[in-house]
Amino acid sequence: MKKTAQVVALTSVLALSLAACGDRPKENAGAGGSSPSDEAASSSAAPSPTASNPDFKACMVSDSGGFDDKSFNQTSHDGLVNAVKKLGLKTGEVESQSDSEYADNIAALLREDCNAIVTVGFLLGDATEAAAKKNPDVDFAIVDYGYAKPPKNLRGLSFNTAEPSFMAGYLAAGMTKSGVVGTFGGAKIPTVTIFMDGFWEGVQYWNKQKDDSVQVVGWDEKSQSGSFTDDFEDKIAGQDTADNLMSQGADIIFPVAGPAGLGALESAQATNGEVNAIWVDTDGCLSAAEYCDAIISSVMKGMDVAVEKAISDSVGDKFTSDPYVGTLDNGGVQLAPFHEFDGDVPQELKDELDTIKQDLVDGKIKITSPSAP
């Protein structure tokens, strides 16, 4: 049986990086039931910090993808690790196993006397807000969520991923040989569909600029309908969904499904170059290096930087509820290098992508995604 929470000892955590590919932590003996135990969070101080704040405890709750998802949980977790290492903090962590656990996992960290708690993922939005309102002396931040009127101790960390996804769509349209590209999501939520919208818009922009007719399968921004695994962890579901898009002629796949999206990378890699992919959240050639030969580029979110800043502000009594939005302009989102495909992407296409990036920053190209922050 799965536990409701898993503990990651900091000494193991510090070994993680964007390229980490390790297994999840082992379950603790004796735990069970539907609520996390009081021992759900462990704490320890980071070695050789550049500052020392031994009485401050920074904590984090993952979504059900876990801290080793090679995607946004992992990158967010890197922000916690960096803050702990630099500032000399204690830490507590809970790795969620299902969506039903979020409120209980936050409560477990509150019992551990955390001074700042970062939650990771859109689905933790309600539980995080409720906890922040009940605990005004604790600072909260949440990755991939924003609030119209947050309490003073709650900061939303969101990212306009439609911008680099637009570039990814244009890139895919410029690289496809079949004239068909595909995308799918893990769930129909704004933080997923924003990627798909941007990708779709980028393809349409290519078609308009080039008088072409590249087709997108798996998503239509106008109808807001498309393909979803309804699961962020099931790689088989991701593989099956990718295979379905490939059967429709797609030779570039853009999975927005967390660990489930790794199934799409497996399917693409198995074609020996006939089908390739564009990854999301992290630079896939670092976080999922074993698939780099099938990854043209990635849409990246600077979640580690945003998380580290939120914790640092809390430590320094500078924390506010002012929302953070990562953009191309402030470097909070970007298109990753082409790595093994650098020689395959034509220079003309690279130059056009540079121009598109600047046009997005300058507002000459307008993103129409209803999910854009």
Give the per-residue pLDDT at 309.
95
Q: Give the residue with greater pLDDT, 69 vs 158.
A: 158
Judge whether residue 253 has pLDDT over 60. Answer: yes
What is residue 256's predicted lDDT score, i.e. its pLDDT? 97
CB 81 within 8 Å of CB 35: no
> Positive or negative, the Cα torsion across 324, 141, 138, 55?
negative
User: Smallest Cα–Cα separation from 191: which of 238, 241, 157?
Assistant: 157
Task: Quickly state the pLDDT bin for 40 (edges 50, 70, 90).
Answer: very low
Strand partners, 215: 180
Res 244 pLDDT > 60: yes
Q: Kindly tell me if the per-residue pLDDT of 255 is higher than 70.
A: yes
Structural domains of the chain ordered from first start: 5-159+303-326 (3.40.50.2300), 162-301+343-362 (3.40.50.2300)
The values of phi and psi at residue 129, to 5°, are -65, -45
Q: What is the mean pLDDT of residues 138-166?
A: 96
pLDDT at 73: 87
The phi and psi torsions of 296 (rounded to 5 degrees) equal: -70, -45
Residue 95 pairs with which residues in a beta bridge? 6
Kindly give, in sequence order, each residue whose CB lies less than 8 Å from that of residue 364, ignoring residues fewer than 6 positions away. Answer: none
Q: How far apart are CA 3 and CA 33, in angstroms?
A: 8
